[in-house]
Amino acid sequence: MKETTKTEERTINVKLIPIFIMGKKYEVPETLTIMKAMEYAGYKFIRGCGCRGGICGACATVYRKPGDYHIQVGLACQTVVEPGMHLTQLPFFPANRATYDLESIGPDPEEVYKIYPELFRCVACNACTKVCPMDISVMDYIAAIKQGDFVKATELSFDCIQCGLCVSRCMGELPQYHIAQMVRRITGSKITPRAEHLKDMVEKIKAGKYNQAIEELKTADMETLKKLYQEREMEPEAASDDWRPGSDAYL
């Protein structure tokens, strides 16, 4: 089946294909992502949709293609529809998310083991890695946490968008992404060395060094703001580490 869509400037021919959303059949343009196809079919996203750019992790989708027993997963805003696919959204997965006081926790792996003892239920099946839409080695960051290597776990899990798909397939019933988030928090606050230049800058801000400049921006008219923006000095793309702007008024 074909549908003709008229816009002011052009006519677009799009092929419609059948898909099944929560068991109900719809005909949707073959070029759409699952998210857009659902909206085309009449669904309105109030939850389960955020950035539409593959970053926020709100739009996890579970689907199966005809003639294939495998369950597939993806992000609805990134995955294009396929003929005959059966799908449903998984905007939230009820993973165990512990409450803890980060201030009172040291960089000691035992602290994490105490809060998330299910960590040791991992059977190294690797289902979590296979399902991750961000291609993260989920099993490997879990292994790094079990070994107490929080820096490695932080690096491996850094791109996690908290979609929850890994949890949905875990036979050990681990909340991988919540555990990794706790580990990244500990790494960031207790292990990574403090950035001295950042500390200096915070002190300057607190001392009011930039108050006047902010006030000038807040009271400037649109034309002045545009001019300031267009004429701003930009850091060159290949700037060396010792690059500095011409004026140090805002340093």
E strand intervals along the chain: 2-6, 11-21, 24-29, 60-64, 72-75, 86-89
Restricted to residues 123-182, the positions that interact with ligand FES (CB under 6 A) are none
Binding span for ligand SF4 by CB under 6 A among 81-89, 110-118, 156-164, 215-223: 156-164
* Per-residue binder mask for ligand SF4 (CB under 6 A), 173-212, x = binder: -x-xx-----------------------------------
- Is the Cβ of residue 52 or residue 152 nearer to ligand FES in the bound state? 52
Among 22, 98, 102, 125, binds ligand SF4 (CB under 6 A): 125
Cβ-in-10-Å burial (0-12, 13-18, 19+) of 214 comes to exposed
What secondary structure, in 3-state letters, does 53-95 show? CCCCCCCEEEEECCCCCCCEEEECCCCECCCCCEEEECCCCCC
Restricted to residues 43-72, the positions that interact with ligand FES (CB under 6 A) are 49-52, 54-59
Q: How far is the CB of 208 from ligand SF4 (least distance, A)?
A: 41
- Residues with Cβ within 8 Å of residue 130, at least 6 apart in sequence: 169
**Residue 28 binds which entry of ligand SF4, ligand FES, none, CB below 5-8 Å type-dependent:** none
Residue 75 sits in the site that holds ligand FES (CB under 6 A): yes
Q: How far is the CB of 159 from ligand FES (least distance, A)?
A: 12
Count CB atoms within 10 A of the CB of residue 175: 22
- Is the Cβ of residue 28 or residue 156 nearer to ligand SF4 in the bound state? 156
Residue 116 sits in the site that holds ligand SF4 (CB under 6 A): no
Binding span for ligand SF4 by CB under 6 A among 48-56, 101-109, 165-173, 219-227: 165-173
- Residues with Cβ within 8 Å of residue 58, at least 6 apart in sequence: 47, 48, 49, 50, 51, 91, 163
